A and B are shown apart, each in its own frame.
Chain A
């Protein structure tokens, strides 16, 4: 059931088998796995069922590293969490993402992808996509479904397609809220903020979660196991807050909490390709909307050429330059089609308003003339970031309404990210030529000068409580249990030791299902 924690008597002490902190993709998925079982579950959700500015302000923070999104707007403190604004693109991590690769520092998971495959299959239902095997589509299947993809069909065998599937997208708050409300063994406490933990004498067993409500009561939740499912940035913050005066508690004995913050690096407009075969631009874009197709080097080719995992995207354009108002108009239309708000939304609106007659003429012409063929493709990458211990979340000096420190995010890339981008581009262009796909013009300097100005993050924060079997190198073990703690677990993209290049939400849901199975055994 959904319960407004503000209406509970102050000092209430609630008991459950498992207490989950956070009702986003991970927390809701985990709780649902217990629906109808004998286990009592309490989920603490900072927000309610609708947006509340005072609650959202608890997500404030400061960016002190490379340019990143506003931390308050990036995250959603509301039932459903960030599924309230995700784009819905799903793709599992690739097998190579789990491997230790000696050319990618700090790479590797404690297990391979085969460990996750049964859970990936179960997760398809949660995010409401098609069969898992669709992700394995090869060039024959992809071009068979959409002839337009022939234009980007590599023939050398070293580059394979990467098929995405689109979730509706599943807004978990609205989609699963009624189900949680009806579940007799699940209590979702809304407007309930974790403000601290109580531990046993050894400091290694969490006995209770201390809960605060804005302008409301204070509560305590006792449980046999606790799961932090508050997202990559907040998970690290809560552990750091809990780590005690010496900062060594709650998985931070080796100072690892908050480190290895990662994003998917979006390298925009690296090159243009005039294609040898020109599909109709509308057909190409419609095919992409049904499920994006990117290209990526095979595991063997990555190993041979010492490349990280990265996705090659081909965005189709007509010939010639398009003025900013037209490009902005397209960005806004694309946002409407994908039900997302494009980055730099207000800039786009301003651009469109600056030449409304021109944009109107353009829109009319596009509607009244036959479809045109692709003039050129803009080539961009979405790349895994090299795991970097100096890229991190820290506690800042500002405090929230409960007196807890707000975060500072210090997103840092390394020169190896630049080197990998250049190497990846070089090999991509060679493969395009070897496949006879078209003619390429590289639009960045040969040494990559200015590369930082051409990248952006992808709204995919990951890695601050990374998984590693050795507590000197990670925060949680292979079962997502915090090192040194007996009953504290973490669920979310914060446990990713390496990011791969696919969208993280689907893997977050997958890991939550896996953790639920583990916890069922633990509390049985």
Chain B
């Protein structure tokens, strides 16, 4: 059974990427800037996501650096460029599709009972250190 706090955290993350983000075209491409952009995907639940990220890091690749995690999230230059320069709503759709594909193809990780996609694990871990 959940506590109300757990439910709220889950509920905030459940839609994965809430709508209503800005679509500014940032030009930054370094890791820190990418992390900052990805953090904007969770305007109201970043603390919960970071908390999950800390938990994820203890369970999955605890020694991975932020660069490693970002490389794993964006293994090809076009994805990296998208995160660095794309509109927020496009980034959201890209990540959403990536997460759904992870689930469909069985790339999932169980953390304290919760089932996450590998993409989410990397994303949460990345933001936990951001």
Which residues does chain B contribute within 8 Å of A438, judged by CB atoms? 14
How big is the B interface, by class? 20 to 34
Which residues does chain B contribute within 8 Å of A439, judged by CB atoms? 10-11, 13-14, 114-115
Quick check: which of B23-31, B65-73, B94-102 contacts chain A, the rest being far away? B94-102
B102 touches A436 (CB 8 A): no
Known interface pairs A433-B100, A434-B104; A442-B110 also in contact (CB < 8 Å) = yes
Q: How far is the CB of A298 from chain B (nearest CB, A)?
A: 15
Could you show 5 A-B contacts with beta carbons less than 8 Å apart? A375-B7, A430-B108, A434-B100, A438-B14, A439-B13
A319 touches B7 (CB 8 A): yes
Known interface pairs A274-B11, A274-B14, A441-B114; A433-B4 also in contact (CB < 8 Å) = no
Which residues does chain B contribute within 8 Å of A290, judged by CB atoms? none
Q: How far is the CB of B53 from chain A (nearest CB, A)?
A: 15
| 9 further interface pairs, Cβ-Cβ under 8 Å (given A278-B11, A376-B7, A433-B115) | A275-B14, A276-B15, A319-B2, A319-B4, A320-B3, A376-B2, A436-B15, A439-B10, A440-B115
Nearest CB in chain B to that of A320: its residue: B4
Q: How far is the CB of B67 from chain A (nearest CB, A)?
A: 27
B7 touches A274 (CB 8 A): yes
Query: CB-CB contacts of A427-446 with B at 8 A, as 1s and 0s?
Result: 00111111110111111001
Chain A interface (Cβ within 8 Å of chain B)? 156, 272, 274-276, 278, 319-321, 375-376, 426, 429-436, 438-443, 446
Q: How far is the CB of B123 from chain A (nearest CB, A)?
A: 14
B114 touches A440 (CB 8 A): yes
Query: CB-CB contacts of B47-63 with A at 8 A, as 1s and 0s?
Result: 00000000000000000
Which residues does chain B contribute within 8 Å of A431, judged by CB atoms? 103-104
Instruction: Tell me the bound Cα distance from A433 to B101 in angstroms.
Output: 9
In the complex, which residues 1-43 of chain B have their Cβ closer than 8 Å to any Cβ of chain A? 1-4, 7-8, 10-11, 13-16
Partner of B16, one of A319, A321, A430, A436: A436
B1 touches A321 (CB 8 A): yes
Known interface pairs A274-B11, A276-B14; A436-B100 also in contact (CB < 8 Å) = yes
Q: How far is the CB of B100 from chain A (nearest CB, A)?
A: 5
Which residues does chain A contribute within 8 Å of B100, judged by CB atoms? 433-436
Which residues does chain B contribute within 8 Å of A429, judged by CB atoms? 103, 108, 115
Instruction: Tell me the bound Cα distance from A155 to B14 in angstroms.
Output: 16
Instruction: Tell me the bound Cα distance from A439 to B111 in angstroms.
Output: 12
Q: How far is the CB of B4 from chain A (nearest CB, A)?
A: 5
Nearest CB in chain B to that of A438: its residue: B14
Q: How far is the CB of B2 from chain A (nearest CB, A)?
A: 7
Instruction: Tell me the bound Cα distance from A156 to B3 in angstroms.
Output: 31
Nearest CB in chain B to that of A318: its residue: B7
Which residues does chain B contribute within 8 Å of A426, judged by CB atoms? 106
Known interface pairs A274-B10, A274-B11, A433-B102; A442-B4 also in contact (CB < 8 Å) = no
